[in-house]
Structure 1
Amino acid sequence: MRVVGGALGGRRLAAADGIRPTSDRAREAIFNMLASLQLPEGATVLDLFAGTGALGIEALSRGATHATFVDSSPSAHEAISTNLTTLGVAELATVVRSDAIRYLTGDSGAGGAQFDVVFADPPYLFDGWAELLGSVDSDVVVCESDREIIGPRWQTYRVRRYGTPVVTVLLRGTALLRDGVRRDR
């Protein structure tokens, strides 16, 4: 597994035991979709169920200013920390060992923090999407699952299937103008 694009493009990432990483092809597509929203340049990102940290690291490589990585697994925490240090971007990141929902609801960290982009790539059997989407303080959420994700108060921007994984990009109703440009950019 490697960083696909940006300043760190081509650099290898350490894997975590038992983690299903987002494929290079899917990550490239995700960041092409985000580029049409003028992201992640200058953004703060939250990588939930971070695994190896590939999505957040990809965002940093492409100009995000800070990434917060959240995963409850000790091996994921170790892989993320190793990857950030090896790539020389640890000062641009925060790594939190926590359950994603607990983190979002403030029980272990987020406490009302707002992010420009949230990546959510839980295990496919995850059934807490409604609670997760209801707790996120962001206008853009990139969901990876084995099915399209739909949430109240969210509009579907793009849905793409990459074999079993389905990537859904959700936007808050007011996140975009009709021409697809973010209001605050």
Structure 2
Amino acid sequence: MRIVGGRWRGRRLVPPRDPRVRPTADRVREAWMSIVQAALPGARVLDLYAGSGALGLEALSRGATHADFVELNPPSLAALSANIAELGAAAEATVHRGDALRFAERLAAGAYDLAFADPPYNRDDAARLVTLFRATPFARILCVEHAASVELPGDDTRRYGDTAITFVRAP
């Protein structure tokens, strides 16, 4: 697992030491970032279900100015903290330990430019997050990774094997 673009391109990331955690594949993350690249410079980003922090760190590497990371799993939090420290990104990153859905429920409309979410595939968090976003669009664009077999309402969905990314724009 590595940063695929920007100032930290090629830098390796520490994965969470938890067999239940499924990091986003580098090729999927690269495609994802290519789609949102124009929105990254100067952006404030939110990385829900952050895991290792790969999505938010990739955004920082490509020009975002700040990233908030939300994670509950202790092994993922350890990997996230190690990756932020290794990249020297502490001034640009804030880690929130807690449930991602509960965190999102407290957000005001327009709090972020971009929000990334990679919830566990075995729960309905992706659908719940899109519903929450439709009621209170806390970012200009919400990008949700989910199983390709799951249909989510959104403006665009891209499939990469068993993985899909749905993009939902604020009204």
TM-score, normalized by the shorter chain, greater than 0.5:
yes
TM score, norm. by length of structure 1:
0.82
Does the aligned pair in 1 maintain the 2:158–2:165 contact within 8 Å? yes
Give 3-state SS (helix, strand or coil) of 2:29's partner.
helix
Q: Which among 22, 25, 28 is matched to residue 23 of structure 1?
A: 25
Task: Give the number of the structure whose residues are more often helix, by fraction.
Answer: 2
1:5 & 1:129 partners in 2: Cα distance? Answer: 26
Partner of 2:143: 142
Deviation string 1:63-119 (CA, Å, 9 cap, x unpaired) is: 00000110110111111111001001111001011111111122xxx4667011010
- Number of residue-to-residue matches in the alignment: 164
TM score, norm. by length of structure 2:
0.89
Aligned sequence identity (%): 43
1:11 & 1:84 partners in 2: Cα distance? Answer: 12
Counterpart mapping for 1:1-185 below 5 A: 1-18=1-18, 19-35=21-37, 38-106=38-106, 110=107, 114-136=111-133, 137-147=138-148, 149-151=151-153, 155-157=154-156, 159-173=157-171
* Deviation at residue 172 of structure 1 after TM alignment: 2.2
Distance change (3 Å), C-alpha of 1:161 and 1:84: same
Give 3-state SS (helix, strand or coil) of 2:161's partner.
coil
CA RMSD of aligned residues (A): 1.7
Greater than 6 Å deviation, 4+ residue runs: none
Unaligned runs of at least 5 residues, structure 1: 174-185
Unaligned runs of at least 5 residues, structure 2: none
Give 3-state SS (helix, strand or coil) of 1:122's partner.
coil
